[in-house]
Copies of this chain bind each other. A is one copy, B any other.
């Protein structure tokens, strides 16, 4: 087991109606004015916005709105948020939405405290040394951003989808009400399932040190996601399945499964980020295309762990494990082929070039050479 520091200070307030506590949570932290970030106007139609505002008002907390944050969130919106937060001198950022809204909120919170161009923080030109306090009400479970310090944003100009990470960008409080997630579309449910499974397997397969305890934790999350996704596809109103799905999403990327492991990397994310950046495909959908192809290429590099995966998750061999996962993606309806995005062989070079940039950034350019990436992409056609 590798040495580690585990420190996750985020408070999770989980359950039905918990969004009504948000004013109290902010008041506990002496917040008086927030930048309220969100995506589409859907939250204004379904009552969530009103509930949040009522709770803020009850605690005399002022707010400024920043709506219109899109999936695969973009730096232009982050810049807009930073300007607004500064002009209005808010003392916190409150995200109401899924991972894209929350990641934008984190980037804004860090950007406000950084003197230079906020993109510097993503490319290692600057470091996050402070951030406005971050709070959120989660409406989609997938990224795990509600209990970690990461934020992924796309720079539309450079076509780079990069991340920040710092001790300052853990949310102070994340409100997770699974009931708010029951209106998620069928597509986004299955993309989210793929996303959580991707978060689970990246470390599980690539770590050079991966204790059994941590493997079991990962398998717990994967089994839960498979089981609850199937229940939710039958009955989107099953609260308990929705809740277990949501909590598995949080546990998959809150540092717990990684504590004690070492040498891991995020190759599936590295490749997928290029698909999102170039074609704006949903992140989870991109991942379900890349994972089976990557697994077929990678399996001989860690045969024992693939054997374990096949047995523990699907009760079969290593090869059956990969085949079953791909078949399960097909069954639930998340893409497994680039052709499903209308991406054909003529695009391989373009993707490959973008991935090459990511490979530098992810620190695994030595393994993921042009040849390797081409092989994986061709297999995913």
What chain B residues lie within 8 Å of A9 (beta carbons)?
7, 9
Judge if A168 is at the interface, Cβ distance under 8 Å.
Answer: no
Kindly report how many copies of this chain are found in the complex they form together.
Answer: 2
Known A-B contacts A14-B259, A220-B220; the reply to A213 vs B244 at CB < 8 A is yes
Given A6-B11, A11-B5, do A227 and B243 touch, yes or no (CB 8 Å)? no
Distance A219 CA – B221 CA, assembled complex (angstroms):
13
Assuming the A-B contacts A4-B15, A12-B7, are A224 and B213 also in contact, with contact meaning beta carbons closer than 8 angstroms in the complex?
Answer: yes
For A1, list chain B residues within 8 Å (CB). 178, 239-240, 243-244, 247
Q: At the interface, yes or no: A230 with Cβ under 8 Å from chain B?
A: no
Return the CB mask of A1-37 against B: 1 if under 8 Å, else 0: 1111111111111111010000000000000000000
**Cβ contact of A15, chosen from B3, B16, B178, B243, cutoff 8 A:** B3
In this assembly, does A301 line the interface, its C-beta being within 8 Å of a C-beta of chain B?
no
A residues with CB within 8 A of B: 1-16, 18, 178, 211-213, 216-217, 219-221, 223-224, 227, 239-240, 243-244, 247-248, 251, 256, 259-260
24 A–B contact pairs at CB < 8 A?
A1-B239, A1-B240, A3-B15, A3-B18, A4-B12, A4-B14, A5-B11, A6-B11, A6-B12, A7-B12, A211-B243, A211-B247, A212-B244, A213-B244, A213-B248, A216-B219, A216-B220, A216-B224, A217-B217, A220-B220, A243-B260, A247-B259, A247-B260, A256-B256
